[in-house]
Amino acid sequence: MSRIEVPMPQMGESIAEGTVSKWLKAPGDAVERDEPILEISTDKVDAEIPAPAAGMLAEILVGEGETVEVGTVVAYISEGATEAAATPEPEPEPSNVSADAPDGANRNAAPSAAAIPLPPVPSSEPGAVAAGDGASEEVVCTTTSEERLRTRSTPVVRRIAQEAGVDIASVPGTGHQGRVTKQDILSFIESGGAKAGLPAEDAPPTPSRVTPQQRDIAEPTPEAGDPEAPARPAEAPRVPAVAATRAAPPTRTPKAAPPSDLWKRFHKEVEHPVFPVREGDRVETMNKVRRLTAEHMVLAKRISSHVHSIIEIDFSIVDRIRRENKARWAERGARVSYTAFVAWACSRILRDFPSVNGTISGNNIVYRGAVNIGMAVDLNPGLIVPVIHDADDLSLVGTARKIIDLATRAKSRQLSPGEIQGATFTITNPGVLGTIVGMPIIPKGTSAILGTGSIDKRVVVVADPATGEDAMAIRKRSFFSLGYDHRLVDGADSARFLSRLKELLEDFPEDA
């Protein structure tokens, strides 16, 4: 009977990892080929993952709520199996029979859930575990498989628990079979659960970006009986590493990111500070959209050197064109908004400003060959940015139709992965909700974002067309802000871009 791997799929060229949202099948369930067996979430889309073959779901390796890299095996399917146990077949366990027992004695006896012997370790006696001072002692494992799964967690979870003085076994887990996830431990600490752990004076100091490997090197274990050794809180006997990771495949072994890959290293280490919860507060775990938004905003703010420039634009001519053509556009099934005018204008001038349409990648500058405009869409709550690819090839009406189509399908969660990636420039419109001007954060992988404010009637000074003298007039005007990465875009480049945009919108072509 062959076992088929179920890997975390690649949902887009820029997606490096995915989160298991929900398992639709349990171990032991029969599955058909192409039948959905789990739901995953990425920073782009949610999707159901089908079974690659018919058979039985033999083993689940990644629990709900866990995030793993693309290509990581998340489960195994026993191809062609018609019936099997609901749990994976256990690996051979070392026998408790003495070394001089006759061959075959109790070799096939199934270990009970209450006393499962540990895997073999380098020792002359079965079950002996090396202690910190070199002595050996008999250790008998009395935990069930579910309990072992709960205490087996990621390095990040273990580090957070250690720093907060929390026993992972006391944390309610929401992962697969009660496994403790990162959100579980953070929620437990925020709710005051850490008080049940180590006293504050006994809790280990919080390291400053120290990896578990570095901590092991920097803090060697003191020798037993050493009078100079600092007092440490009592710890449960350590289970050999081979026992703790027995059910994990080699691909699940944590590996340090290459030192040169700063982006990936920081992305993996993004953690938000924890604050005390006061009386009357309500604590909720962040959902996927909010968590990913928070991580991306921290990353973008840390990487890009943000600067903002603001300009005021007169929409009088745009407003007149909309009024005059509204009925004609409606007959063609199109609704042209102010945002469509702005997107069309940006698409026409971005090729003249390659730095605004580019990005910094490592020590290189990438000048994009296409003009792909991301349009921020409010999901209330949440935010998503679908992309108009090759926007400079569309007419004004074509741009308007594309915006409405993407926004409609974004709110109903019907976008494909390709429709929410590849943006070279982004437009966000807080003005639709009355905001006068915004200071948006530049999305990663781009160098600029345009924020459009509310379009309001204002009293302004204009030249009287008859006399040429200054006169008071009422005009529809709006403030635009351009957020740009100062590593690539200079202030003068930003000013020239905004000036060109102002000229195009204030003298908008009738044949667009």
**Phi and psi (nearest 5°) for 360?**
-100, 130
- How many angstroms from the chain centroid is the CA of residue 80? 36
**Phi and psi (nearest 5°) for 91?**
-75, 155
Q: Which residue has the higher pLDDT, 182 or 68?
A: 68
Residue 109 pLDDT greater than 50, yes or no = no
Residue 375 pLDDT greater than 60, yes or no = yes
pLDDT tens figures, 424-455: 999 999 999 999 999 999 998 999 999 999 99
Choose from 96-105, 243-252, 280-289, 359-368 the range with maximum mean pLDDT: 359-368
Nearest alpha-carbon partner for 422 in 446, 448, 396: 446
3-state secondary structure 24-59: CCCCCCEECCCCEEEEEECCCCEEEEECCCCEEEEE
Nearest alpha-carbon partner for 438 in 378, 503, 395, 390: 378
- Dump the DSSP string for 207-224: PSS--HHHHHHHSPPPPT
Nearest 10 degrees: CA dihedral of 231, 236, 241, 247?
A: -150
pLDDT for the residue numbered 14: 54
Nearest alpha-carbon partner for 411 in 391, 439, 381: 381
Nearest alpha-carbon partner for 357 in 263, 53, 52, 365: 365
Region 472-476 average pLDDT: 93
Q: Which residues pair with 306 in a beta bridge?
A: 485
pLDDT tens figures, 31-57: 988 888 998 877 656 778 888 888 999
Q: Show which residues are catalytic.
A: 486, 490
pLDDT tens figures, 50-71: 888 889 999 999 998 888 888 8
pLDDT for the residue numbered 493: 96
Nearest alpha-carbon partner for 391 in 407, 375, 409: 375
